[in-house]
Amino acid sequence: MLELNLKQPLADFDLEVNLQLEALGITALLGPSGSGKTTLLNCIAGFSHPQGQITFNHTPWLDTDNKLAVPPHLRSVGMVFQDTRLFPHLNVNGNIDYAIKRNPQSTLSKTEVCQILDIFPLLHRQTQDLSGGEKQRVAIARALLAKPALLLLDEPFSALDNTARREMIPYIDRLNKTLKLPVILVSHIQEDVVQLANYVVAMERGRVVDQGRISDVIAHAGEIGMVERRDSGALLTATFKQNNPDYQLTTLDLEGFTVHVPGTSPLQTGDEVRLMIKAKDVSLAIHPPHNVSIQNVLRGDIARITATDQSPFAEVVVQIGAQQLHARVTRMAAADLGLTPGQPIFALVKSVSFDR
């Protein structure tokens, strides 16, 4: 449990955060650049000095009323910096050993960590010869071997290209699942967060504007301006069924319906996959459609419809089994079809993809 009650003046506004985080799985701090996310991580790690209190699992780290500020090296928190900050005077092995030497009681073995992050082949390299993704993995390994009780990742994907980013996601996922280490990560790229996070804290101009389970926050991300309205949508969980190499497709099961997504994947049957389905990519039909190119058709009931006179669009929330899908249609189309809450409906998903 991480309890934060902080105030820190920044250049244009104040960082003012009052948060209780369970901090069990992966928590994502989300928000536009300059919204105070990295400063918040620095406050938790002890590199920024706000007014207020920070308590982690009942241990106070900061309490300015009582003039208490535990210095960074005595907080059981690991931090992976955006620019990795590997020590240039040490090679990869030296960087890793730097952490081990200062935390000899670590329960994690070097072998285990090097295995999880796949860095055995890198150990004798110089840090400046590594690629961006390799540097990130070494930095994470080094942070893990300092035996933190909480791991902070500052924009772990920002320096990576799309391929490296896709490769990085499973490592972070594995680290949380295998090591049961709570992770707080800062990101402004929604797709990464969608695949990784359990819990999301959305920030804007130094304040928390929304928080909750990832699917809930995504569902109203458009309303609170966290993403462009035209990119808003819903996060649905599907399970992997099989690869279809003939057509280069992956077959998934979503609430009993079959969904095909482009590309094949190394997943196993039954593995969970998160799908971000944008509302603009979903069309609606009253009757089961025939002779259309769209193959992903889900049957459900209209849960609610939101529309205002100012916008040409209506947002229709469709209940599919236990999950909800968002569709954006014009208000005219909604009126012509006579859409009403409770009505059975077919949702046609034009485009869907996932990141692994």
Partner 1 sequence: MIEWSAISITLKLAAVSTAALWLIGTPIAWWLARTKHFSKPIVEAFTAMPLVLPPTVLGFYLLILMSPESPLGRLWVSAVGESLTFSFAGLVVASIIYSLPFMVQPLQNAFENLGPKPLQAAASLGASPRDQFFSVAVPLSKRGFITATVLTFAHTIGEFGVVLMVGGNIPERTRVISIAIYENVEVLDYTQAHILSLGLLIFSFVVLFVVYATNRHLSVRLG
**Residue placing its CB nearer to partner 1 in the complex, 83 or 161:** 83
Tell me the closest approach of the beta carbon of residue 326 to partner 1, in angstroms: 40
Record the tokens describing residue 73, joined without a space.
Answer: 């090296």
Give the Cα separation of 65 and 165 in Å (integer): 42
Report yes or no: 356 and 267 within 8 Å, Cβ to Cβ: yes
Contacts of residue 114, defined as CB under 8 A and 6 or more positions apart, other chains included, come to 96, 120, 123, 141
**Residue placing its CB nearer to partner 1 in the complex, 46 or 222:** 46
**Residue placing its CB nearer to partner 1 in the complex, 60 or 72:** 72
Tell me the closest approach of the beta carbon of residue 259 to partner 1, in angstroms: 42
What is the bridge-based pairing of β-strands 59-63 and 68-69? antiparallel
**Residue placing its CB nearer to partner 1 in the complex, 143 or 235:** 143
- Which residue, among 335, 288, 280, has the nearest Cα to 307 in the 3D structure? 335
**Residue placing its CB nearer to partner 1 in the complex, 81 or 157:** 81
Record the tokens describing residue 113, joined without a space.
Answer: 């960590």
Residue ranges in contact with partner 1 by CB under 8 A? 45-47, 71-73, 77-79, 81, 83, 85-89, 98-99, 102-103, 128, 142-143, 146
**Residue placing its CB nearer to partner 1 in the complex, 42 or 250:** 42
Query: What value does the CA radius of gyration of the chain take, rounded to a whole number of Å?
Result: 23
Tell me the closest approach of the beta carbon of residue 64 to partner 1, in angstroms: 19
- Here the contacts of 36-39 (C-beta below 8 Å, separation 24 or greater) are 36/10, 36/203, 36/205, 36/206, 37/186, 37/188, 37/203, 38/82, 38/154, 38/155, 38/186, 39/8, 39/10, 39/15
Consecutive H or E run containing 332: helix 331-337
